[in-house]
A = this chain, B = another copy of it.
Amino acid sequence: MKKENITIYDIAKEASVSPATVSRVLTGSAKVRPQTMRKIVDVMEKYHFRPNSLARSLLYKQTKTIGFILPDINHPFFSTLVLKSEAHALKLGYTSFLCNTMNNAINESNYLQSLIEKQVDGIIYLGGRINDSVPDKQYAEKLKKVMERIPVVFVNGRMEGVDAHIVRADEETGIERLVELLVNLNHQKIGFLGGVEGITSTDVKKAAFIQLMEKKGLEVNSEWIFGNGFSIESGEEVAAQLLSLNERPTAVICANDLVAIGMIKVLTKFGLKVPDDISVVGFDDIYLAEHFPPGITTVSQNYEQLGQTAINVLVDLMNHKQIEKEIIVPTSLVLRDSCKLL
């Protein structure tokens, strides 16, 4: 079957006008006599006519479309961020392509290619290779080429050698708040667990942690800094490791809430109570952090603001507005019940 589309020509013929006039009522670009207008609108409704945005986009050279590149929509951090971003984009008239790379570099390249061919007006890069502290040279080059033609915004990431516009949550300050909180609760033996070495968000957090600890004259015990991953499962592993330590920290900061959840789960299983026996804090404030017992003290990414800012920057870029290279969105401490006075 040939998909026989209804076009403005069909409408024009039936309404005994020219295609141009139909187009005028579609765009409102010029005055049309009310009488003709009515006739045209009637015919359009009769056939449930909708203009083909492909044709329009081909002409206008814009598609009102944004591509999101991210590792995994199933991770609450991303699903929340995408949700908020997409909602804001919709308000601004943009529809969103979703590209889950599953941390697969080939998927990532293919998706990038596909987005370009589909002529998206801009790309929001939420994660993937842009988070590698030591990025793939070739991919960086490709990304730079892309950015010459299409606006790209990195969220919570940066790629060495790629001078992209960045919108990021203030993870440093978030970590600092966490450290200060724990110190105020008399903790001195504090660990940092989970995350992945070489991924910017982990490196940033770890660096902020170490720096403030040292500044406060507290020991940074490298035995209390380990872990590999962002999932509940990796939190479970980390907890097991922690349990086997000779000397344990009295409090740990986890790379994110999922890791904290995994930790708490295993610690509890082995009879350690959180926060009575050990204080555990997370990061991200995924919606679960509130509900997972005992309620996890964490740092909120302020998803709505982060998402909206990213979209706003992207749209500004599309409109060739001058705009700062890096915008930092504040994070905020969320107090719950997973840490207590030592």
Interface of A with B (CB < 8 Å)?
A: 1-3, 5, 48, 50-55, 57-58, 61-63, 65, 68, 72-74, 76, 79-80, 82-83, 86-87, 90, 95-100, 102, 107, 110-111, 113-119, 145, 149, 232, 261-262, 265, 268, 287-288, 291-293, 320
Contact = CB atoms under 8 A, between A and B. Distances in A.
Contact of A63 (B54, B58, B288): B54
A145 to B, nearest CB: 5
A95 B118 contact: yes
Q: Which of A68, A111, A265, A291 has the most CB of B within 10 A?
A: A291
Given A95-B99, A98-B97, A292-B292, A113 B50 contact: yes
B58 A58 contact: yes
A54 B120 CA distance: 10
B265 A293 contact: yes
So how many copies of this chain end up in the complex? 2
B63 A74 contact: no
A114 to B, nearest CB: 6
A98 B116 contact: no
Nearest to A142: B48
B58 A320 contact: no
Contacts of A149: 3
B287 A288 contact: no
24 contacts: A1-B320, A2-B61, A3-B62, A48-B145, A50-B117, A53-B118, A54-B54, A54-B63, A54-B119, A68-B98, A73-B73, A73-B82, A74-B76, A74-B83, A79-B79, A86-B100, A90-B110, A95-B115, A97-B97, A232-B291, A262-B291, A288-B288, A292-B292, A293-B293
Q: Which of A55, A58, A79, A100 has the most CB of B within 10 A?
A: A79
Nearest to A65: B118
Contacts of A62: 3
B98 A96 contact: yes
A146 to B, nearest CB: 8
Contacts of A48: 145
Report, nearest first, the 4 A-B pairs whose CB atoms are least far apart: A98-B98, A53-B117, A3-B61, A79-B79
A83 B87 contact: no
B61 A87 contact: no
Contact of A90 (B5, B72, B107): B107
Contacts of A53: 117-119
A79 B86 contact: no
A82 B79 CA distance: 11
A9 B146 CA distance: 21
Nearest to A90: B107
A87 B50 CA distance: 30
A54 B52 CA distance: 11
Given A5-B61, A95-B111, 17 more contacts: A2-B61, A3-B62, A48-B145, A50-B116, A52-B117, A54-B54, A54-B58, A54-B119, A58-B58, A68-B98, A74-B79, A76-B76, A82-B98, A83-B100, A90-B110, A90-B111, A97-B97
